[in-house]
Amino acid sequence: MTPIFPGSVDAAGQPATLGVLGGGQLGRMFVHAAQRLGYFTAVLEPDAQSPAGLVSHHHIQTTYDDPAGLAELAQLCQSITTEFENVPAQALQTLAQTRPVAPSAAVVGIAQNRIEEKAHFTACADVSGVTCAPYAVIETLAQLQAVQNERADLLPGILKTARMGYDGKGQVRVKTAKELAAAWAELGSVACVLEKMLPLTAECSVLVARGWDGQIVSFAPQRNVHVNGILAVTAAYEGNMPSVLADRARDAAVAIAQHLGYVGVLCVEFFVVDDGTEHGGLVVNEMAPRPHNSGHYTIDACDASQFDLQVHALAGLPLPQSRQHSPAIMLNLLGDVWLDANGQLQEPDWQAVLRLPGTHLHLYGKLDARAGRKMGHLTITGPDVDGVKAVARRAAALLSLPGLDAI
């Protein structure tokens, strides 16, 4: 790919413009990173008040599969990405006929389907050194009955829809064959995977960026805490997990990206399981073909954020190996923070929060606070880990945020 340099114009006088499908907070942070480098940006998103659309040079307000909207995006942009994995893969294929698109439709398609995703993890296990939890595919009644009769080893387990599951949605915990059948019916008898429940001790994720030329860089693993299936806390500092596991996770994420021929920023999530060894074992859970909530700390704690790397990769620029200059803890801010005990709206005490040293508040421009909705995040940085932890606990207490007990 020919690099797209910031500030350049083409023969028709069109400024260098990068496009993104999706107008949420990830798109907003991508737009900010691109604009800081000097690029124009275009967002295709149906919501007139989308966080990314409100700050972009161009907002194409159409559905993701609208032919006219896609044509306009391709006309405006020299290169195009997506901010979430549930964009129609066909839309990416259409754009790729005339413009560089990263990640590719094929890779996004794998991430959209847990069955294909797990097959990929299994196929590259010899290279990555890490595989996924034991699982079975359930797409038909015959497969359900086969699992009930022949795979008792998978129970208790978690039944997950193959598509459209995120933040704990589309998942049911089951203990018995009877519960499995009821859960599959509850989920609409759609294609699912049944994963064996493992004795988890921790969760972590790794961010990788890979360029068109195969250059690849990565961040150190971050340790994550989920509450009700939604990320609550990310701890990013040296010693957040045993170094032997951190090295394995980082190497595995790089191998997975290489195996895919991935271009862009990829997040790979892992479980740490109690396997009887000193540090435990590592199991790959899922991947996100985009920047990730757990990587938001990189904006304030690193000299190049995950969004900077997304811009560099998309434009064909060299990828800097980002350096983390401060230990960090990221606290996810859901709409619950704006609700009192009776569910009535209240303004959080930002005055008290922002008096705390090393606090960096990021709100996403969403006007309607609802329980469970991602409204922003708060990153705490500082010169030492103990100080960052202390401030994070004070901030969490002020905002009634869960999850820090596990860090």
Place of tokens 């340099």: 5
SS3 of residue 361 by DSSP = strand
- Determine whether the annotation assigns residue 160 to a binding site: yes
85 is in an annotated binding site: no
Amino acid making up residue 62: T
Residue 32 assigned as binding residue: no
148 labelled ligand-binding = no
- Confirm whether residue 95 is marked as ligand binding: no
Q: Is 365 annotated as a binding-site member?
A: no
Residue 46: C-alpha distances to residues 102, 257, 290, 366 (Å): 21, 31, 20, 15
Residue 19 marked in a binding site: no
Check the annotation: does 170 bind a ligand.
yes
Question: Is position 167 annotated in a ligand binding site?
Answer: yes
d(CA 268, CA 139) in angstroms, rounded, equals 25
Q: Is residue 324 within a helix (H) or strand (E), and if so which, with residue range?
A: none
Residue 166 marked ligand-binding: yes
Q: Where are the beta strands (DSSP E) in 47-90?
A: 58-60, 79-82
CA 251 to chain centre: 18
Residue 268, classed as helix, strand or coil, is: strand
Whether the Cβ atoms of residue 234 and residue 160 lie closer than 8 Å to each other: no
Question: Is 195 labelled as part of a ligand binding site?
Answer: yes
Q: How many CB atoms lie within 10 A of CB 98?
A: 13
Check the annotation: does 203 bind a ligand: yes
* 7 assigned binding-site residue: no
Exposed e or buried b per residue across 100-136, where buried means at least 16 C-beta atoms within 10 angstroms of its C-beta: bbbbbbebbbbbbbbbebbebbeebbeebebbbbebb
Reported as type and span, the H/E element at residue 41 is: strand 40-44
278 is in an annotated binding site: no
Q: Please indicate if the annotation marks 169 as binding a ligand.
A: yes
Which residues define the annotated binding site?
114, 160, 165-171, 195-198, 203, 226, 285-286
Which residues define the annotated binding site for ATP?
114, 160, 165-171, 195-198, 203, 226, 285-286
